[in-house]
Amino acid sequence: MYPPLVLVLAIFFAVATAIAALSSPLPHPLDPLSPTELTEVRSAVLAFSLVASRPISFHYVGLDEPEKPDVLSHTNAAAAAILPRRAFVIARAGGLSHEFYVDVTNTSAPRVVSHGIHDGPGFPMFTTEEQVAAGQLSREYPPFRESLQRRGLALTNVGCGVFSMGWFGKNEARRLAKVQCFIVAGGTANYYARPLEGVTLLVDVEKLVIVAYRDRAAYSVPKAEGTDYRAGKAGPPFNGAVPAPGVVVQPEGKGFHIDDHIVRWANWEFHVGFDMRAGTVISMASVHDADADLWRRVLYRGFASEIFVPYMDPEEEWYFHTFMDAGEYGLGVSAVPLQPEADYPANAAYMDGYYVDADGKPVKSENIICVFERYAGDIAWRHTGVAGPIAPITEVRPDVTLVVRMVVTVGNYDYTLDWEFKTVGSIKTVVSLSGILEMKATNYTHVDQIRDDIHGTLIAENTVGVYHDHFITYHLDLDIDGTKNSFIKNTIIPKRNTGIRATGGAPTPRSYWTVLYEVAETEADGQVNINGAPADLLFVNPSKKTKVGNEVGYRLIPAGATATSLLANNDYPQRRASYTKKQVSGLYAEQSTGDDNLAAWSKRNRRIKDEDIVLWYTVGLHHVPCQEDFPVMPMISGAFELRPFNFFERNPLIRTRPPGNSPNCSCSFGRSG
Amino acid sequence: MYPPLVLVLAIFFAVATAIAALSSPLPHPLDPLSPTELTEVRSAVLAFSLVASRPISFHYVGLDEPEKPDVLSHTNAAAAAILPRRAFVIARAGGLSHEFYVDVTNTSAPRVVSHGIHDGPGFPMFTTEEQVAAGQLSREYPPFRESLQRRGLALTNVGCGVFSMGWFGKNEARRLAKVQCFIVAGGTANYYARPLEGVTLLVDVEKLVIVAYRDRAAYSVPKAEGTDYRAGKAGPPFNGAVPAPGVVVQPEGKGFHIDDHIVRWANWEFHVGFDMRAGTVISMASVHDADADLWRRVLYRGFASEIFVPYMDPEEEWYFHTFMDAGEYGLGVSAVPLQPEADYPANAAYMDGYYVDADGKPVKSENIICVFERYAGDIAWRHTGVAGPIAPITEVRPDVTLVVRMVVTVGNYDYTLDWEFKTVGSIKTVVSLSGILEMKATNYTHVDQIRDDIHGTLIAENTVGVYHDHFITYHLDLDIDGTKNSFIKNTIIPKRNTGIRATGGAPTPRSYWTVLYEVAETEADGQVNINGAPADLLFVNPSKKTKVGNEVGYRLIPAGATATSLLANNDYPQRRASYTKKQVSGLYAEQSTGDDNLAAWSKRNRRIKDEDIVLWYTVGLHHVPCQEDFPVMPMISGAFELRPFNFFERNPLIRTRPPGNSPNCSCSFGRSG
């Protein structure tokens, strides 16, 4: 990612409107903090007498969720009211990272119930305000002005942004960051396409001073022409393909109901939360088992925990581009208002989210989560009995999917993060990438001139789309039909027929495969590179069995984008994100060192058999850019699915009534059937 | 797959209506043979004096496509009229496989222009008629009647079907096949759930005699209850989840136009053909390059060439279940009429197909290919400029996909074979599986009773869902912007920074990856297991370059279902389908030996650099059944995408006008803009 860009001279930075506190009704225990609550959290922290340093800068405020057993035993509103409402806060004051737990159960008497100082490496997310301020530091800096002058550029033509500097072995006490700049002249909105290559500032984002400056080399600035992506600038002519307009009409209205943060649809019920770091949080997703007439929990909590994006250019201005978008910039903070009938179809509903600014005041993000039913022409199940005693028979059940979508724009990249719920019982998580590539200015204008490794693709004149990876890691607290689950690796192993029935063979000339059932006893057992030996990965509840005795479970099915990191194990970016060769990042990702990530936690190697286990799954893509990614990238996607595996006694949709026009529908029933 | 089933006593086998010959207008050179032409082909073969043996049984009749250069130079109807119309015929007579080329350019004077005898191993596809007849052989066979009697079953309660017997080292001169049976009593349509386990007949399907009989063991017959999938039998209650009804409305009508067999939509144009073996054939798919105002070819021809389904039970009644659905049963012959608003949405159009019966007479299959625009709420590209000089900006282009769908039901399994065309220039091929599992009867009623390997999952009482694979292989004659293409493997290789700029390093502490560009010089180089080292697989036209000098190309992107065969290399089923560890099956798949498949062809190791190359891609799934697959399987899918990679100068959709309600749409233009 590139950070949001700040003009050197004029600030046009768009900060969402700070809003006044509103009163709200009785919340669900997992509801995000309301504006009222956020306001009270701020008051409590500012009033906390043990932290006297000023200013206090708020970097994170989020719900401190009650413990799982408490939430599970307080699902109705009346019962929930007795659970405390608490916030977890990370704030900077006096050069330290403070952690507060604030009780806002009684909003008229908020109080700090716990305070600590984070003393490990790493820092909280950048605030928007400090990014804006740090981006402007260069404007009064004489060496920077000289660099511009040497290149014939005016100060008004340049904008700068704050780049996290990663971690390369040195634990800094200061919150340092790099600042790099772009040419904003030429009338294009796509300044990312026009880097001021070769110039880097090192700044203290807290003290707002320049610590180091480097003007290593000058490169041609790519031209502005052909880079703009705004409709009115890219065309006319508007000669791109436009399919016929189409609108989904739902004659009986929407099939889902949103009750505050609870979504109910078909055989699903779940809670949709919002967090300024993680964005969308799906909790308590339960599926209805029609045969048993029971709601059965599948996922207690799921969210995108980190997006690690290392670039593959070792050059001085590029090597530190090893971003952790959630921990450094915040996925929730970076979520953008969705565009109706473009980001989602007309039959959608949407939700807002609240986070806090650096001053701790609530900020409303409108229309950042949408919920819609997807009518894609898919089929849930079908069979045509082409022959036999009762032929011909055709039974088909069309499929509809419920989508919960957020778009996170972290500087240049736009991530579409979808949670899909399927009537068959599946939860599918899809990540789609669009937006603008990180581009490097080069003097090359044609491939024939290139003799060395340019660490990317020449995607336009003077423009290299730099090689990089995307690793999107999900935190999935699975509760397959209850809290205690086990992780099963069903490895598919080749066998040679022995020919002897007594040893499990048969007198036939065959090789075949069978399934080796292995329970992961510890966290180390639970680490899997899915590109290795073929295996079905299951999460089961060993205390719940089907009638014929199978453990009830769900299967993890990767659907593309299964790349794992190719960085050296002892390389610094890889040490921070070591879970990308298997799987989670810690809380303090900015300048984090990997000491608190999942790979480190897993070394404790806790028992995970029949426990409350969490799956961290990483969707990974190696991205070799191509010219089609310029000036803005078409979507590419990766996904994975959690699908029932012996969870139901049988196909849960077998008793679904067919569409009204089914030829076999001699079983007269109405819409309510 | 299980074959279509035949009742032992009564025949209810549904054969599509034989139709009268119709006259047709001037065909495109790739149009499938019309009913008139098929009728004339039959006349010519029957009149061919050098083959005197009777009966002549028609196993395959399809278009003998003109050579590619001829087709490419005759794209308009007038020019096409001078190309000959020819059929390729495989017929059995006198115990031999005859191959005929029949010229039907002048339908009033059809003539055989070439005749030969196939003298290698393997036989053509089964005809429907011989399957029906062979399935009935058991009814008068005393040992079979005794087997039924011992089990307390009446003859009227049993139906049998023809199972291809695979190839296990012995080249048969006779067309032998296995016959296995099912219980059709109990009122369920799902007889596949109730096998007459332990009994196998070996029959000569041509002479219609029983060659061998084996009643090895008796097993419990699974109960009928809970197996039926018909709406009126599975319910009431209809308690399966039913989302709200939704209909896609297109206020300006459909966005595609079908002109006979040519489909035009958005920036795509292609020909849709039909073949009784391969089913849907996509030809001459070209994408419009708006910037260059040119139609540029991507795919000359693509079709599913084989579906290999080996089962993983070495037991005597199961080891030979190693089906090749295209070569043995025919995907086109097995295509089923699609169910409106269930198999496809209301905004679809459909096409019919014609094949021949054993007597060579044309048979019409109605409504077997549908074409529709999918409005799934997808995004083509987007960016939100969250900051900077011209912020805020949000530009989003919604995405719509054109789908060409066929459903092939080969006995028990239903394969949905989709070709998706995307405005970004991609062709995506999706295979979805539903239908009914192959089930094995067992005496077990609970998992706790099982001590040995049952080669599957106990999915219901007395019922094992047997482990198996699905390998769906596509023949893709790519013509990336012209006929001569090369295959490039861009392997992603880890690098350690040397620290020295002169050797391509930089003085920074980083490992990284770069891309090793390798041209496949020969067919052997072109064989790739995509689960190996990460690599981008490209097909380029080395004689065409973008302005900055990149070779124009397309990239192959697997999207799930990348399993490869785990059978031993020297195992017989694997020798027939050896391409499933890399990639195509030959023409004579039934009892084929692997001598004429792609792996064998590739051993000739022809030069493939800058040649007219064909990509064979195999979508593969290891299927470990679960209870949800019973009594009918919910869809599971695998896919791959062919996506432009430096084919266009830039994102081909950058100049697409935004939807009407775009806030940045100050660039007033109408629908026609």
pLDDT of residue B20 exceeding 50 = no
Angle, vertex CA B330, rays to CA B324 and CA B332, nearest 5: 140
Q: How far, in Å, CA of B577 to CA of B585, rounded?
A: 7
What residues are paired with B478 via a beta bridge? B299
Which residues, at least 6 apart from A193, have a Cβ–Cβ distance to it below 8 Å? A222, A224, A227, A436, A439, A460, A463, A630, A631
* CB-CB under 8 Å, A340 with B13: no
Sign of the torsion formed by the C-alpha atoms of A451, A452, A458 and A463 = negative
Neighbouring C-beta atoms of residue A166, cutoff 10 Å: 22
Neighbouring C-beta atoms of residue B545, cutoff 10 Å: 16
| A54–chain B Cβ distance below 8 A for any pair | no
| B407–chain A Cβ distance below 8 A for any pair | yes
What residues are paired with A353 via a beta bridge? A365
Q: How far, in Å, CA of B83 to CA of B104, rounded?
A: 11
Q: What SS3 state is found at A82? A: coil
Q: DSSP letter at A329?
A: I
Tell me which H or E stretch contains A598.
helix A598-603
pLDDT of residue B603 exceeding 60 = no
B360 conformational bin, left if phi > 0, alpha if psi -120 to 50, beta if neither: left
Q: Worst-scoring range by mean pLDDT, A581-585, B347-351, B439-443, B626-630?
A: A581-585
Mean pLDDT value across residues B339-360: 94
Which residues, at least 6 apart from B30, have a Cβ–Cβ distance to it below 8 Å? B63, B65, B71, B261, B271, B273, B281, B283, B284
DSSP track, B300-328: EEEEEEEEEEEB---STTTTT-EEEIIII
Q: How far is residue A185 CA from its own chain's centroid?
A: 33
Mean pLDDT value across residues B327-345: 93
* CB-CB under 8 Å, B253 with A249: no
Cβ atoms A244, B255 nearer than 8 A:
yes
Residue A212 φ then ψ, to 5°: -150, 155
pLDDT of residue B369 exceeding 80 = yes
In the numeric block, the tokens 């490794």 are attached to A453
Mean pLDDT value across residues A22-47: 88
Q: What SS3 state is found at A281? A: strand
Nearest chain B Cα to A167, which residue? Answer: B509
Which residues, at least 6 apart from A209, have a Cβ–Cβ distance to it below 8 Å? A137, A203
Q: Worst-scoring range by mean pLDDT, A333-347, B289-303, B380-394?
A: B380-394
Nearest to A3 by CA among A469, A591, A413, A593: A413
Mean pLDDT value across residues A339-365: 95
Q: Worst-scoring range by mean pLDDT, A26-40, A285-299, B346-360, B516-530?
A: B516-530
Q: Is residue A599 very low, low, confident or very high in pLDDT (cuts 50, 70, 90)?
A: low
Nearest chain B Cα to A445, which residue? Answer: B548
Nearest chain A Cα to B646, which residue? Answer: A627
Mean pLDDT value across residues B168-180: 93
**How high is the pLDDT of residue B392?**
80
**How high is the pLDDT of residue A500?**
80
| B4–chain A Cβ distance below 8 A for any pair | yes
Best B470, B545, B654, B672 residue to mutate vs chain A (most A CBs within 10 Å): B654
**How high is the pLDDT of residue A25?**
60
Q: DSSP letter at A446?
A: S
**How high is the pLDDT of residue A414?**
97
**How high is the pLDDT of residue B429?**
97
Tell me which H or E stretch contains B129.
helix B128-135
Q: How far, in Å, CA of A645 to CA of A470, rounded?
A: 29
User: How far is the CA of B487 from the CAs of B479, B525, B585, B607, B629, in angstroms?
Assistant: 12, 9, 21, 11, 39
pLDDT, one tens digit per residue, over B28-77 is: 999 999 999 999 999 999 999 999 999 999 999 999 999 999 999 876 55
Nearest to B319 among A393, A510, A647 (CB): A510
Catalytic center residues of A:
325, 413
pLDDT of residue B606 exceeding 70 = no
What residues are paired with B351 via a beta bridge? B369
pLDDT, one tens digit per residue, over A200-228 is: 999 999 999 999 999 999 999 999 999 99
Angle, vertex CA A20, rays to CA A15 and CA A21, nearest 5: 125
Which residues, at least 6 apart from A68, have a Cβ–Cβ distance to it below 8 Å? A300, A483, A612
pLDDT of residue B608 exceeding 60 = yes
| B447–chain A Cβ distance below 8 A for any pair | yes
The residue type found at B662 is: S
Residue B105 φ then ψ, to 5°: -55, -45
Q: What SS3 state is found at B337? A: coil
Q: How far is residue B422 CA from its own chain's centroid?
A: 20
Mean pLDDT value across residues B18-32: 66
Residue B404 φ then ψ, to 5°: -115, 115
Measured in angstroms, the CA of A45 and the nearest CA of chain B are apart by: 30
Pairing of strands A468-478, A294-310: antiparallel
Q: How far, in Å, CA of A350 to CA of A356, rounded?
A: 20
pLDDT of residue A283 exceeding 50 = yes
Mean pLDDT value across residues B100-115: 94
Q: DSSP letter at A562?
A: B
Nearest to A630 by CA among B298, B641, B548, B481: B548
Mean pLDDT value across residues A254-272: 96
Which residues, at least 6 apart from B520, have a Cβ–Cβ distance to it below 8 Å? B486, B487, B488, B489, B526, B608, B609
pLDDT of residue A664 exceeding 70 = no
Which residues, at least 6 apart from A123, have a Cβ–Cβ distance to it below 8 Å? A92, A97, A175, A588, A590, A591
pLDDT of residue A96 exceeding 70 = yes
Q: Is residue A195 very low, low, confident or very high in pLDDT (cuts 50, 70, 90)?
A: very high
Mean pLDDT value across residues B382-408: 87
Mean pLDDT value across residues B572-597: 59
Higher-confidence residue: B74 or B376?
B376
**How high is the pLDDT of residue B600?**
56
pLDDT of residue A589 exceeding 60 = no
Nearest to B624 among A235, A515, A574 (CB): A515
**How high is the pLDDT of residue B602?**
53
Higher-confidence residue: A427 or A77?
A427
pLDDT of residue B499 exceeding 90 = no
User: How far is the CA of A499 from the CAs of A510, B117, B166, in angstroms?
Assistant: 9, 38, 18
Q: How far, in Å, CA of A376 to CA of B414, rounded?
A: 19
Q: Is residue B672 very low, low, confident or very high in pLDDT (cuts 50, 70, 90)?
A: very low
Q: Is residue A521 very low, low, confident or very high in pLDDT (cuts 50, 70, 90)?
A: confident
- What mean pLDDT value characterizes chain A? 88
pLDDT of residue A586 exceeding 50 = no
Higher-confidence residue: B1 or A306?
A306
- What mean pLDDT value characterizes chain B? 88
Taking only residues 195 to 214 of chain A, the set having a beta carbon closer than 8 angstroms to any beta carbon of chain B reads none
Q: How far, in Å, CA of B432 to CA of A100, rounded?
A: 51
**How high is the pLDDT of residue A389?**
54
Nearest to A461 among B168, B548, B568 (CB): B548
**How high is the pLDDT of residue B533?**
73
* CB-CB under 8 Å, A168 with B336: no
Mean pLDDT value across residues A147-170: 93
DSSP track, B501-530: GGGT--SS--EEEEEEEEE--BTTTT---T
**How high is the pLDDT of residue A120?**
82
Measured in angstroms, the CA of A255 and the nearest CA of chain B are apart by: 5
Q: Is residue B531 very low, low, confident or very high in pLDDT (cuts 50, 70, 90)?
A: low
**How high is the pLDDT of residue A583?**
39
State the Cα torsion A161-A166-A169-A170 to the nearest 10°: 40
DSSP track, B369-423: EEEEEEEEEEEEEEEEE-SSTT--EEEEEEEEEEEEEEEEEEBTEEEEEEEEEET
pLDDT of residue B23 exceeding 50 = no
What ipTM, to 2 d.p.?
Answer: 0.92
pLDDT, one tens digit per residue, over A528-561 is: 776 667 888 899 999 999 999 999 999 999 887 7
Q: Is residue A667 very low, low, confident or very high in pLDDT (cuts 50, 70, 90)?
A: very low
pLDDT, one tens digit per residue, over A406-420 is: 999 999 999 999 999
Measured in angstroms, the CA of A113 and the nearest CA of chain B are apart by: 36
All structural domains of chain A: 35-118 (3.10.450.40)
pLDDT, one tens digit per residue, over B122-154 is: 899 999 999 999 999 999 999 999 999 999 999
Nearest to A560 among B405, B559, B656 (CB): B559
Give per-residue burial for A417-445: e unless 16+ CB within 10 Å, then b.
bbbbbbbbbbbbbbbbbbbbbbbbbbebb
**How high is the pLDDT of residue B461?**
98
Q: How far, in Å, CA of B544 to CA of B484, rounded?
A: 10
